[in-house]
Amino acid sequence: MGRLIRGRAHVFKRANINTDEIIPARYLTAHDEAELALHAMEDISRDFVSRVRPGDLIIAGGDFGCGSSREHAVWALRGAGIAAIVADTFARIFFRNALNNGFLAIECAGLAEITSDGDDIELDLDAGAVRNHTTGASRLFTPLTPFALELLEAGGLLPYVAQRRGVGSPNA
C-alpha cells in the first residue's frame, strides 16, 4: 500500500516553535477546530492562516510544539488545513497529541534547511522518504513504528481504542 502525501510547504526554520505561538492561550476558551484555526500561528506569522490551502504541509526545525500540553495546537493546525508536519524533532506531548488525533507528524532532520515556502513536497510513509519536487532534493526519515501507523490509520487513539474494544491498550 503506497502511503503518499503531497502538498505545498510552509517553512518554520527556527527551533522551539512552541504551543503559545501555535495557538496562544487567549484562544483556549474554544476547542472547535475551525474557530481555533483562525488564530493558528498568528503571533509569529500574521498571514499564515490566509496562505494555507487544504493539504499543505508544515516543514519545521527542532523541538516543534514544545511548551504546554494543549491539544488545541494540533486542532488549530489541522483546522487551518495542514495535512502533516515534518520537523527535525518534536516536543513529546505535541507528538503524542498529533498521533492521538491521527495527525501525521514525521521527524526528518535537515528538511527545513533545504525547503522554501511553497515548495512541492511529497512524503512516502512506507519508504521513509521525503522528496522536494521543486528542487529535486530528497531526505530519508525513520519510518513510523507499526503502532504509530495503526493509530494514524484508525484516525487517532480513541477510534483505535473503539476498534479494538480493549479500551486504552495498544497491545489489546
Q: Which residues bind other proteins (CB under 8 A)?
A: 15-16, 18, 20-21, 24-26, 28-31, 43-44, 62-63, 66-71, 74, 89, 91-93, 96-97, 100-101, 147, 156-158, 161-162, 167-172
Q: Cα separation of 9 and 75, whole Å?
A: 19
DSSP H or E stretch at residue 149? helix 146-154
Distance CA 102, CA 79 (A): 13
Q: Which is nearer to other proteins, 7 or 102 (CB)?
A: 102
Q: How far is the CB of 163 from other proteins (least distance, A)?
A: 11
The residue length of the chain stands at 172
CB of 111 to other proteins, least distance (A): 17
Q: Which is nearer to other proteins, 4 or 28 (CB)?
A: 28
* Closer of 10 and 131 to other proteins (Cβ): 10
Nearer to other proteins, 10 or 72 (CB): 72
The single residue listed with the C-alpha cell 512552541 is 18
In angstroms, what is the minimal distance from the CB of 136 to other proteins? 31
**Which cell is 14 given?**
527556527
**d(Cα 119, Cα 58) in Å, to the nearest integer?**
11
Cross-strand partners of 40: none
